Structure 1
Amino acid sequence: MLGIDLTSVKIFFDNCPNFIKCLWNARTRDFPRRVLWFAITRKHSGRHSAAWLEMTTHSRVKKHTGRVQKAPADKFAERRAELGEAALTTLATLGYARTSLREIAQNSEFSHGVLHYYFSDKVDLIVCSVKQYKARCVTRYDHAVDTATTYDELMEGFLQSLGDTLQGEGHVHRLWYDLRSQALFEAAFHDDVVQIDKSLEDMIWRIMSRFAELSGQDPGLPPSACYALFDGLFLQALLKHLSGDTKAIADMQADVRQSIERLFAAPAKATPAPRKRRA
C-alpha cells in the first residue's frame, strides 16, 4: 500500500548495528515507522537500497579491519620487556644472590604482584633483563663494524666502544658475569646463558672477520678462541675497574690493540712518492 520495498527493510535490519536491534526489541513505538520511512526514501532517491547498504557496510568493515591490533601475547611480551628494563638497575646493583622480586618491587615503581604476574621468579626476570641489555650491546659493536672503512678506523672504533662500555655500564656487565657463573650451578640458567654467550661470540667474530677483510690476513684462530681471548681481557679489566683501578680501561685497550696486531698485522701504509727536482 505504501509502496514499500520490504526487501530493503530486511536488508537494512540485517545490516544495522546491534544497538538499533535492541531498540526494536525494546518495543519502541516510533521505531517501525522510522524503518519504513528509511526504506521508502531509499527507494525514491534513485539508488537501490541493497547497493547502498552493501557500500556502507563494506566501508564500515574496511575501516575497522584497517586497525592493526596487537595480539595479547605481543602486549604481554612488551610489558615483560618494560619491567625487565626497569628492574635492570636494581639487579645490577644487588646481584643474583641478594635480589628477590619483592626487593626489586621496593626499588621500583611496580608492585610485587605485577612483577609476579609477568615473571615466574627472579630467574625469569634476571634472564629477561640481561638478554635485552646484551642485545643492545651487540648492536653497538655492529655499528662500529659497519661504519669503519679502514683498518685504523675499525681499531679505534672497537677500542672506543670497549672503553665506553666498561666506563658507563660496568655494573650491568657484572650482572652478566654473575648470571654466567650461576649457570655452573643452576640448570635453570643453562640454555639462556649459552644463547647469550653464543650471540657475543658471533659479535666478536664479525669484528674479527672485518679486520681480516681490511688487513687481507686470516686471524689464525677459530671463533670460540677469539671470543675467549677478548672476553677474558674485558673481564679482567672489569674486575680492576670495579676495584678502583683508574688505569684499567687504558690498560685493557692497550692489551686489545696488541692482541689484534698479533692476529692481523696492520696493512702497510703507502709512502708518498718523492718529488721530482726541477732542472
Structure 2
Amino acid sequence: MDTREKISARGDSKRAESPRGTGNTARGAQRRIEIIDAAIEVMARVGLAGLSMRVVASQAQIPLGALSYYFNDKSDLVAQAFQQLSDREIERVVRTAERLQPTMTTEQLADLVADMLIDGFSTPQGALVTRYELVTEASRDERLRPMFEAWYAAMVPALSRLFRDLGSHQPELDSRTIMAVMAGLEIDNVYRPLGPVDKRRIRATIRHAFRAVVALHDL
C-alpha cells in the first residue's frame, strides 16, 4: 500500500467514526467544512483558550443551537478541526512529493519544497497558526497525536525516496533534516505575515539545506 492509499484508508476510517450524520449530504458536508474553517480563523485570532461554540457560531453566521447538529461539543469541534487541517496538509505534501524528481537540479527540488512551505502560511488564512495551536494541544491530548503524526507519515517516505534516488546512504535522516529546517522556518515566521524579503530568505535557506544534504552523498 503506497502513501496515498494509506492516507485514504486513514481518512475513510476517521470519517466512519464521525459522530454526526450530516456528512451524508453534500450540503451537510460543505456546511461542516465552513464551520470548521470559521473555527480555524477563531483559533488563529484568539487561541484555543479563547475558542467557544458561541464565538464560532458568530464567525460562521449560524445560530448557536445549530452547532449541536454538527458537533457533540467543543472537544469534538477541535478534534475535527485538527483532522481537517491534517487532511489538507497531507494533500499538499502528496501533491508536492509527486512533483519531486531525481532528474531535477538541487535548486529546482528546493524551490518546490519552498513553494509548498510558503503557500502553507496563507492557505487557508490562519491555518498555520491554528495548526501550531493544535499541535501544542496534542501534547496534552493523545487523541490528537495520530493526526499530527500523519503529516510525517506522508512526508518522510516521499522525501526518503527522493534522496535514495539521489544516492543518499541515509535517506530517512536526510528527509528528517529537511523537515526540521522547514519546521524551524515556520516557527520563525508564523507570528506575522510573510513579506517579499521573508519569502526570499525561506527559499535561500531551503536551497542551502538541500545543497548541504546532497553534498553529503558524495562523501
Q: TM-score, normalised by structure 1?
A: 0.58
Quickly say closer, same or farther: Cα 1:85–1:133, change in 2 above 3 A.
farther
Look up the match of 1:162. 117
The answer to whether the aligner puts 1:254 opposite 2:212 as a matched pair is no
Hey, what does 1:104 align to over in structure 2? 56
Question: How many residues of Structure 1 are paired with residues of Structure 2 in the alignment?
Answer: 191
Cα distance per residue 1:202-252 (max 9 Å; x no partner):
23313421331441213362766654443223222223xx16665323222
Deviation at 1:168, TM superposition (A): 4.1
Structure 1 segment 1-279 matched on structure 2, within 5 A:
75-78=21-24, 79=28, 82-89=31-38, 90-91=41-42, 92-149=44-101, 150-152=103-105, 153-169=108-124, 171-184=126-139, 186=140, 189-192=141-144, 194-217=145-168, 218-219=170-171, 221=173, 227-239=179-191, 242=192, 246-265=196-215
Return closer, same or farther for 1:244/1:208 CA change in 2, 3 Å cut-off: closer
Q: Deviations over 1:156-202 (max 9, x none)?
A: 22121111222444621101111122334x4xx3221x112211112
CA 1:154 to 1:245, structure 2 compared with 1: closer, same or farther past 3 Å? closer
Distance of 1:113 and 1:173 partners within structure 2: 29
Name stretches of at least 5 consecutive residues in structure 2 with no aligned partner.
Answer: 1-17
Q: Is the 8 A contact 1:81 1:128 kept in 2?
A: no
CA-to-aligned-CA distance 1:46-86 (integer Å, 9 cap, x gap) = xxxxxxxxxxxxxxxxxxxxxxxxxx978434546732443
Cα distance in structure 2, aligned partners of 1:102 and 1:172: 20
Deviation at 1:127, TM superposition (A): 2.0
Task: Please give the alpha-carbon distance, in whole angstroms, between the structure 2 residues aligned to 1:158 and 1:100.
Answer: 35
Relative to 1, partners in 2 of residues 1:203 and 1:265: Cα closer, same or farther, differing over 3 Å? farther
Q: Give the Å deviation of 1:96.
A: 1.1
Amino acid corresponding to residue 151 of structure 1 in structure 2: M
Give the whole-Å Cα distance in 2 for the aligned partners of 1:115 and 1:220. Answer: 43
**Which protein shows a greater Rg?**
1
What is the CA-CA distance between 1:109 and the residue it aligns to? 3.1
**TM-score, normalised with respect to structure 2:** 0.71
- CA displacement at 1:100 relative to structure 2: 0.6
- Runs (4+) of structure 1 exceeding 6 A deviation are none
Query: Residue type matched to 1:258 in 2?
Result: H
Task: Say if 1:74 and 1:253 are closer, same or farther in 2 by CA, change over 3 A.
Answer: same
Tell me, what secondary structure is at the counterpart of 2:190?
helix
Q: Cα–Cα, structure 1 residues 249 and 174, in superposed 2: closer, same or farther, change >3 Å?
A: same
**Residues 243 and 142 of structure 1: CA distance in aligned 2, closer, same or farther (over 3 Å):** closer
The CA distance in 1 between the partners of 2:180 and 2:148, in whole Å, is: 10
Identity between Structure 1 and Structure 2 (%):
19
* Larger displacement relative to structure 2 (219-228 or 105-114): 219-228
- RMSD over aligned Cα atoms: 3.2
Query: Is the 1:148–1:157 contact (alpha carbons within 8 Å) kept by the matching residues of 2?
Result: yes
Q: Could you say which structure has the greater relative contact order, defined with CA pairs below 8 angstroms and 6 or more residues apart?
A: 2
